Amino acid sequence: MNTNAGNSFFQAIESGDTMTLSDKIDKLFKTVRPQGREYSYDEVARGCSELSGGTFSKAYVWQLRVGQRDNPTKRHLEALAQFFGVPVAYFFDDAVAGRVDAQLDLAVALRGAGVRDIALRAAEMDDAGRQALSRIITEVNALRTASPTQRDSESDSDRNSDS
């Protein structure tokens, strides 16, 4: 991953910075995972070679991932995109990259058994049930992000209103 300022790709997204090619490739390695592990450079190189009909070395894949090479050919970008299952525009169109990143983040979240269980249960609910669940999740997130002082004062007011 490109570590220019020590930022992770998640920090780059949160700050609104544009992700570099190496950041995007690194994110694909970290999120598109067979059997719960990252692809090896050799697996990506072999897969891209087969997809493109050309040569692709594991050293070249590593160079792209860490930012030592940042100007791949169209054929190489197409092979990487096809290998990782993203549109080739992911590498150069920030709007497409944003949509794909959101889908990748959701896929990562759904790997967790608890999140997957909640999602499966929500899928069985009617619209009113899903809306209620959404409100509950929003409220729990608000409580998690509130300062301890805010949580204490809200708890005190809840206790006072119950009496």
Residue 29 CA to residue 22 CA, distance in Å, equals 10
Most confident segment among 11-20, 136-145, 152-161: 136-145
Q: Is 146 in contact with 154 (CB distance < 8 Å)?
A: yes
Residue 56 within any structural domain of the chain: yes
Mean pLDDT of 47-61: 92
Residue 47 within any structural domain of the chain: yes
- The verdict on 66 and 33 lying in the same domain is yes
Phi and psi torsions of 61, nearest 5°: -60, -45
Provide the 3-class DSSP secondary structure of residue 86: coil
Mean pLDDT of 72-98: 94
Q: What CATH number does residue 45 fall under?
A: 1.10.260.40
The pair of three-digit structure tokens given for residue 127, joined into one six-digit string: 């619209």
Mean pLDDT of 70-88: 94
Q: Which domain holds residue 127?
A: 113-162
pLDDT value of residue 13: 43
Q: With cut-offs at 50, 70 and 90, classify the pLDDT of residue 147.
A: low
Phi and psi torsions of 71, nearest 5°: -140, 65
From the list 126, 146, 144, 148, the residue with the least C-alpha distance to 136 is: 144
The model's pTM is 0.62
